[in-house]
Structure 1
Amino acid sequence: METSISQPALTKKPLNKVHLAGKIISGLCIVFLLLDALMKAIKDPRSMEGSVQLGWPAEFVQAIGIVLLVSTVLYLIPRTAVLGAILLTGYLGGAIAIMVRAGQPLYFALVFGILVWAGLYLRDEKLRSLIPFRKD
């Protein structure tokens, strides 16, 4: 009598290249945004100085960091990633407005906003079906 031990079927699909690219792009965005948020939330002197130079009152920098932290954590969690991306879009839109007002280059916040959505688009099949890109 031969006994075979069967492995339980995995419920997760293997990562395809598109999904993996989305995870990498999102991961890079998350690392940077978490670092920025934490530096603002703990009132790191370099972050405080840079924010004040852009025109933010020093007493609001920590609150801005907490908003960014919450938005980034929501983006990190798959079930709330779209809400997080929407909140990050608002945050980065504000960053663009501040940069324009301060006469600074705005491309960094703009590119980051694009990368946040690109990463989510590539890793979320439902979002890709909602906003399809066609060759027609």
Structure 2
Amino acid sequence: MEMQNTIPKPVWWTGTIVKSLLCLFMAFDALMKIIKHPSAVEGSVQMGLPESSIPFLGVYLLLATALYIYPKTVMLGMLLLAAWLGAAAGIMYRDGIAGHPYIFPIVFAVLIVIVEFLRNGRIRTMVPFTK
């Protein structure tokens, strides 16, 4: 948020709204895994993950999301979420489920990086798309 004055307000607000929606989804998914909701357990077991690992995965996802929300650790959170989503895409691709569901985590990972590009001046300086 410290770089908001160098980023146009509509761009910053667009990034903030999309980031909020992404974080809500990730936090909801993490909580469903932590409480071992039947649908979360069923989906994870279908992918070949042991049921005993589901709460740990939920804690990892919740921690990564919290790090992504906190401005001082946004880069670490972004990397941990990208790793999570990359692993999810790999597991889904390996299982060969019809309908290409592995595209969903890839789109989420790309959105996370785009959102930080829209909101964060430090990332804009690291990846300069303009002169």
Match for residue 68 of structure 1 among 61, 69, 91: 61
Residue in structure 1 matched with residue 30 of structure 2 by the alignment: 37
Q: Whole-Å Cα distance in 2 between the matches of residues 77 and 20 of structure 1?
A: 17
Q: Check if 1:129 corresponds to 2:125.
A: yes
Residue in structure 2 matched with residue 53 of structure 1 by the alignment: 46
Residue in structure 1 matched with residue 106 of structure 2 by the alignment: 110
Q: Check if 1:88 corresponds to 2:84.
A: no
Residue in structure 2 matched with residue 27 of structure 1 by the alignment: 20
Contact 1:40 1:61 in 2 (8 A): yes
**TM-score, reference length from structure 1:** 0.86
| Pair member with larger Rg | 1
2:39 is paired with a residue whose SS is: helix
Measure how far apart 1:121 and its partner are.
1.1
Measure how far apart 1:134 and its partner are.
2.5
Q: Whole-Å Cα distance in 1 between the matches of residues 8 and 34 of structure 2?
A: 35
4+ residue runs of structure 1 moved beyond 3 angstroms?
Answer: 12-15
Contact 1:85 1:116 in 2 (8 A): yes
Deviates more, 1:15-24 or 1:75-84: 15-24
Indicate how the Cα distance of structure 1 residues 15 and 77 shifts in structure 2: closer, same or farther if over 3 A, else same: farther
What count of residue pairs does the alignment treat as equivalent?
A: 124
Q: Whole-Å Cα distance in 2 between the matches of residues 101 and 127 of structure 1?
A: 32
Structure 2 unpaired stretches of 5+: none
Residue in structure 1 matched with residue 90 of structure 2 by the alignment: 97
**TM-score, reference length from structure 2:** 0.89
2:83 is paired with a residue whose SS is: helix
Contact 1:25 1:118 in 2 (8 A): no
